[in-house]
Each structure stands twice: as structure tokens, then as C-alpha cells.
Amino acid sequence: MHVRTLTFRSFILVTAAIVTSACGSIQQSKFQMSFLPPAPKGTPAVELADPPAPQSNLFLGADIPSVILNNPQILQRRTQADATVQTAQRRFLAGKRYYQSQDLANARREFDRAIDLMLEASEQEVVNRQEFERQLDEMVDNIHRYDLADLGAAAVVEQGKFEKAPLEDILQMTFPVDPKLKDKVREQVAATTSQLPLSVNDAVLGYINYFSNRGHRTLLSGLQRSGRYRPMIQRILDEEGVPQELIHLAQAESGFIPRAVSRAAAGGMWQFLTWRGNEYGLKQTRFTDDRMDPEKATRAAARHLRDLYHEFGDWYLAIAAYNCGPVTVEKAVERTGYADFWELRARGVLPAETTNYVPIILAMTIMEKNAAEYGIEGFTLDPPLTYDTVETVGPTSLTLVADILDLPLPELAAMNPASLRGLLPESYPLHVPKGNGSPLVAAMQMIPSNHQDAWRMHAVGSGETLAAIAKRYGVAPSAIVATNHLETADAREGDRLLIPAALRLEAPVRKTTTGARRSSSAQKTASTRRKPATPGKVTTTASARPATRTPSRTSAHAAAKAPVTVARNVTN
């Protein structure tokens, strides 16, 4: 969740001292937020007001104490901060020019670099911190306006079906305390066993009161959804040696929604910003974002929390640092001399969101451990997701996989939330329903790896002709005949044909044909109206190279039936 507030502006102001994301020090990171998703072609450039021209020596005002002016080392550091800010302003202006010329890729790069530089400057010694924060806020505000122009950001969220974290808004709120709860909760905590220390105070009681009343449905929805991932999360938390109760960070961050995205561009179930995710192995490509992969993100979050605990020696401070950044917590401790979350909270030296973040985690922990007392016992959790995992041998279309396994594409996409555009890169872990890994490995070996990103597989329905099928996919009938080694240019119901389609980022919607539907791809028998072919050898890994030829109907089904073992068999 890493610094999410009610406005994009307030988000950056909180982070000005550093920060954001499943946290960490800025010195070791880059702020890799992609502010500008591609806009529709032909969209006219939107002219926005120019930001103020960069001024010389923004932070070297006349009020600089003489002790600083007489200290060359301090003056050099402050001059360095000024130079960094001016460079950031130049990168911002360059991004603006790129944007107005519709070169969005370069605009995104320049804007991201500008923010990187501003955050680097925030770590340097500046005299006028207030002026710096104003400049940073203004820059981000301008970039955000560009982001929203032409519905750029909104279009990506809509097309990618990203969701908002359910608890995002309440992190800025406090709630009244029910006096009747105090003694009750203290008694519950005294009788509760927990790896995470539990505290009871007005902040925690306020959120218990909220989740017991107005927020009850939100709490139940998250708990119900947690059933899909709970066994996997519990296993990883145990393997990484962190308290099991930290599963509630995922509920506070995203409500266990794998594709949740915050206003601050934190993404995934554990709400990593790009640069922080990169530190823990969560990579991004044009087509994938590992932050959206529940298992990868859970592993990264557990390791990050463990690292934070080793740094601070206190779970409350580690949780706070996960939300606002370890540098923010370090500076709060340095300024006050207190390495105690509640003391830092009382002194107002932590971001408002962070001061409520820890109490929310504790409130949910206490309530779940005493489920019967809070009306959250006895309801049915979503069943755990179970799947086979195979490694792609080349760029692979989810649409092709759905064709082969006879699955609805949305169902397959939901099992692979890290796929942003329905395409996975080479050597990427692909999740398929349990028991479907072996048939998929065999079938994919019969398709050239350089065509697995575009080709389709079609089950011929009643009354369909080869010409109609070819027209539907935008290919020539002769290409289908050649690809499938057909002896006659006709199609028979039940046949499964490879379609040599061209790469398209948005696959066509699969339509239901009239007549009998096909059964599982591993079981359906096809016509043998062609020259016989010997199926390629099936290995025990999903990364085996495919045969150099394309399959006939007979060979494809023989391969689908072959007894093989999936490369990795992962059950969550």
C-alpha cells in the first residue's frame, strides 16, 4: 500500500522525505512509476500549462546560517541538491515536449527520471525543505494531469481490469471507540496466542469498532477471498520466518485482490511500487508485472518484512516501515530518540496513513483470532486455488492455451493475473488448472515456439466450413490446410485445427458454435484425413523445445494423451 492517501498530491508530500512502496531507502531504489500508458492513436496532444521555470539555487536562500556558508562540505552538498532539482526540471520539460508530440514512450521515460531525481534530491541536505516539497508536489501534480489527459490512465485501468484496494480510503480516518469494547478486547488479547505482539489502545479499538459495524462487510469480503490464497501465504510466511499474523497486511493492502492498484501506482496483493518490487525480484515487462502474481509477491513481501524486522528489531516499526518506507521511520526515530511505534505516533512524526496502518493490522488480527465474538466465524471461505505450473518455451498467448485446454479465457487469465495483455514471455511460469499441465506441455511441444504467441487452435463446430473458419481468424484457407497437413480442404465437426494467425495483443472473443461441443482436449479424438506423422518426443519439463514441424490432428491428440510429468507441480 505504501503511501496511499486521498489525493495524488498528498501522496507525494508524504513521500517527499523519501518513501513509498513496500518500502525501503531511496538511495537503493528508483521511482519507476509509469505515468503515461499509451493513449489511443490519433488522439490530439493536450496543451497544458507550463510548470514554473526552474530557478537557480532554489534552496540556497539569503537566510542560510553563516555556519553553513562557512562550511564548504555542507555547502557542496546543498549545491548538489540544487543541481539535482534543476536537472529534474529539465527532464520534466523534455517529457512535456515528448508528450505534446505524441511520443508517449519517451515522455514516460523523462517524467519517471524527473521524479527519480527529485526523490534523490530529497535525500540530500536542502536548506528550504518547504520550498523543495512545493516544487516536488507541483511537478507530480503536473505529471498527473498529463497522465489523466486523453483518459490515458483511466483507459489502462479499464482495459486491464485493475481494482481499487477496499481499505485505501479508511487509512486517513479515525473512528470512535466503543467504551464497552475496552475490557472485552483486553480480556481477549490476554487469552490469545500470537506470534505478532498484540496491543490494545484507542486506535486499535476504534478500528475494531469500525470493522464490527460499518466496515463489517468489507472485512468479511476480504476474509472470504483470502481462502483462495491463505494456504500459499501461510506456507511462505512460515518458510521466511515471519509471523503468520502478517497475512493481514495483504487484507489491509488489497483485500487479497491480485490486481489491486492504488492511486500511488502501488500494485498487486501486497502493493509494491515498481522500484521496491524490483529489489525483491518482482520484474516488469511489456506484457507482465510480477507484482500482480500472488505467489511471487507474497514471497517478496515476506522477505521485505523480515529484512525490516532485522533492521528495526520491532514488528510494529517493521510494519510501519513497510507502509511508509524505512527511511521515514529511521528519521522519525532519530528526531525523537524513541524506537517505539506508539511513541512516534503520539508525537506526530509519522505519516497519518502509517499511524493508522499498524492499528488496522492489529484490529483485524484480534478479530480473526476471536472470530466468534465478532460475527466472522462459520462463513465459507473461497476454496484454495490449485494449479499446475509450467514454464513457457517462448512468448505464449493465453488465448492459445485456453484454446488447447478448452477453458474460458477469463478463467485462465484470473489464474495468471501478472499477464497484462494476455501474453507471457519466454521462461515464465504459467498457471493452469490442476491436472492440465501434462496435456498442455505435450500439446505445446507440437507448436513451433516462435508461433505460440499468435497461433490459435480451433475446434470445428457443426456446419462450419474451412472458408468460414479462415475468415474468422483473418487467414487464408490454404494456410490452415498447409499448417495442419490436410489432404482435403474441408473441415469436419470435432476436428481441432491449428490456425496460423498473426500476433494481436487483444485476442478475438471465442464464440460458441452450434451443435455438439468438444470435450477435454486431452480426450477428444480427431479425424485422420491426412498423412500420418510421428509425434515429437515429450519430455518431463515444460521447457523442452517443440518439434520442428507442425502437428497433424492425429499427432496433436497423441501428444495430448502421452504420459508426461509437469515441470513444476504447485498446489496452493
CA-wise closest residue to 384 among 227, 226, 571: 227
| Least reliable range by pLDDT among 220-224, 272-276, 504-508 | 504-508
CA-wise closest residue to 473 among 488, 454, 445, 491: 454
Segments making up each domain of the chain, as ranges = 25-160, 169-374, 387-561
pLDDT at residue 532, as a whole number: 31
- Residue whose C-alpha cell reads 462463513 in the numeric block: 379
Could you give the CA distance from residue 90 to residue 549 in angstroms, rounded to a whole number? Answer: 54
Q: Note the pLDDT tens digit of each residue in 497-519.
A: 999 988 765 433 333 333 333 33
Indicate the DSSP class of residue 262. -
DSSP, residue by residue, 323-365: HH-HHHHHHHHHHHS---HHHHHHTT-S-HHHHHHHHHHHHHH
Record: fold of 169-374 = Lysozyme (1.10.530)
Beta-bridge partner residues of 388: 432
pLDDT at residue 175, as a whole number: 64
| Least reliable range by pLDDT among 1-10, 86-95, 228-237 | 1-10
Cα 306 off chain centre by: 20
- Given a cut of 80, is residue 166 above it in pLDDT? no
pTM here? 0.61
| Least reliable range by pLDDT among 46-60, 116-130, 277-291, 388-402 | 46-60
On the CB side of 232, how many CA atoms lie within 13 Å of its CA? 22
Q: 202-212 and 352-369 helices cross at what angle (nearest 10)? A: 60
Q: Has domain 387-561 been given CATH number 3.30.930.10? A: no
Q: Note the pLDDT tens digit of each residue in 297-306.
A: 999 999 999 9
Q: Note the pLDDT tens digit of each residue in 374-388.
A: 988 887 899 999 999
| Least reliable range by pLDDT among 11-20, 399-408, 426-435 | 11-20
pLDDT at residue 145, as a whole number: 58
Average pLDDT, the chain: 74
Beta-bridge partner residues of 424: 396
| Least reliable range by pLDDT among 8-17, 213-222, 413-422, 424-433 | 8-17
Q: Note the pLDDT tens digit of each residue in 263-273.
A: 778 899 999 99
The larger pLDDT score, comparing residue 278 to residue 7, is at 278
On the CB side of 260, how many CA atoms lie within 13 Å of its CA? 26
- Given a cut of 90, is residue 438 above it in pLDDT? yes
In whole angstroms, how far apart are CA 147 and each of 96, 108, 173, 196? 11, 9, 27, 40
pLDDT at residue 437, as a whole number: 95
Q: What is the dihedral of CA 89, 91, 92, 98, to 10 degrees?
A: 150
Instruction: Report strand pairing: 456-459 vs 496-499.
Output: antiparallel
Could you give the CA distance from residue 172 to residue 4 in angstroms, rounded to a whole number? Answer: 9
Q: Which helix (H) or strand (E) holds 498?
A: strand 496-499
